[in-house]
Amino acid sequence: MNTKQKKIKDTLDAFKVIKERNDANDKADLVLTVPTAPAHWYRADGQPLHTIDMTNGGERNTTLRDARKMNLFPSVTTVLKDVLVNYGVQKWLRNTLLESAYTLPESFRLAAFANYKLKVEEEAEEFGAKARDFGSKVHEAIDCYHLNKSYVADAEIEPYLAEYRKWFEENIISVISSEETVVNHDTGYAGRMDLVADHREHGLCVIDFKTQRAKGSVKFYDTWLYQLGAYRECIPSQPNCLSVAMNSIAPAAPVEKLWSAQEVKTGWDVFRRVCEIWQLQRGYFPTEEGT
């Protein structure tokens, strides 16, 4: 058995344990409903807990107060969003607000400023919600394809999935895991990885998919690296880190970026410090035992 084969075998063995744990969680609590929105909190065993059941039968978002009581682990994206300013996201938000203001009918521009401002914000939020929903649908379709190669998405998503199929068939030898939850008990965070796979050119990789409204070339942000670095630290075999961007404006071939070993090291160094800041600011330090 050569080095690459051993690395893949070790990763497969590790994910068998993770999958058995996650499958057990799914069977143990069939009442828990998991929304399509991005996960924010996880139990120490990796079980997602995005919402809390209320006495009136409804649900509410899980809060930091709930996390303290139940020893929940914040997601990687929650930690990053709470501490770091993502200038790419900020620029997108500004442009969305400006586009909303520019395209509103003249009648709204003549209204009182407070009403006009509210309408602009509502239109921008609706646009943002559509973008987030589109990204979620693409991720869901990709995961369904990993589980069933004959899967066909709905009319909106299928053209994008078709581009992904081509990329997958050309580049991926085998899937190690898809949409699997990992927990770092030592540092205090958790998350759901998009894909761990054996790549024809790059070898064993933890892969994260992003949708982006790219009118020109795709932009790869440092926060994507921080996220991948955090996931990689949860995998014993320490795979390579690969970002794959998909243009949401029109179907096109996915674009790869393999982060260098030094970039990955720096990304992890940044994330663990960000996680430490997140914990210090809140005075909350989740542990495996909950002490």
Note whether residue 62 is domain-resident.
yes
Q: Which residue has the tokens 């070790």?
A: 10
10-residue mean pLDDT series, the chain (291 residues): 63 58 45 36 94 89 93 95 75 73 73 75 73 88 96 96 97 96 96 97 97 86 96 96 95 97 97 97 86 51
Q: What's the confidence (pLDDT) of residue 28? A: 37
Note whether residue 22 is domain-resident.
yes
Note whether residue 255 is domain-resident.
yes
**Angle between the N-to-C axes of helices 261-282 and 76-83, in degrees from 0 to 180, rounded to the nearest 10:** 70
Note whether residue 60 is domain-resident.
yes
Count the domains in the chain. 1
Q: What's the confidence (pLDDT) of residue 30? A: 29
Q: What's the confidence (pLDDT) of residue 203? A: 97
Sheet holding 189-199, edge to edge: 172-184, 189-199, 203-212, 240-247, 255-258
Q: What's the confidence (pLDDT) of residue 100? A: 75
Q: What's the confidence (pLDDT) of residue 21? A: 53
**Domain, as residue range, for 170:** 3-84+157-282
pTM for this model (two decimals): 0.78
Note whether residue 20 is domain-resident.
yes
Note whether residue 152 is domain-resident.
no
Q: For residue 186, what are the contacts with CB-CB under 8 A and spacing of at least 6?
A: none
Note whether residue 192 is domain-resident.
yes
